[in-house]
Amino acid sequence: QQQVKQSPQSLIVQKGGISIINCAYENTAFDYFPWYQQFPGKGPALLIAIRPDVSEKKEGRFTISFNKSAKQFSLHIMDSQPGDSATYFCAASIRTGNNRKLIWGLGTSLAVNP
């Protein structure tokens, strides 16, 4: 019940296209959903995040769409660029006792062809 399922595992998009990565969860206690971007040889970096009381959040070319009833959320990258080629992880945050824990998806490797 604490899993976050991410798809697809890999994605190839042409420059200028839209990249879409999907995540689904079961536990309704999750209350914060960040997306991380990881370039080879680097640690993950927070890209954009959303709370479940909001259906959409946009930052530049990156948009999170959140469907609370379906327990799904997705990352859309508009006008995808070769520099967006990276691994993207969705995650979900949950309070556990006095602490918080991030549950991670397995990642999506995005390649944007020039």
Q: Which of 20, 32, 52, 81 binds another protein (CB under 8 A)?
A: 32
Residue number with CB closer to another protein (6 or 80): 6
Which of 66, 69, 70 minimizes the C-alpha distance to 55? 66
Q: Can residue 101 be called a binding residue for another protein (CB under 8 A)? A: yes
3-state helix, strand, coil in the chain (%, to 5): 5, 60, 40
Q: Is the peptide bond before 8 cis (omega within 30 degrees of 0)?
A: yes
Q: Which of 12, 18, 29, 45 binds another protein (CB under 8 A)?
A: 45
- Six-digit token pair at 6? 């991410």
Distance CA(16)–CA(77), nearest Å, equals 10
Q: Can residue 104 be called a binding residue for another protein (CB under 8 A)? A: yes
Find the shortest distance in angstroms from Cβ 7 to another protein: 13
Interacting residue ranges for another protein, rule: CB under 8 A: 6, 32, 34, 36, 41-46, 49, 89, 93, 95-96, 98-102, 104-107
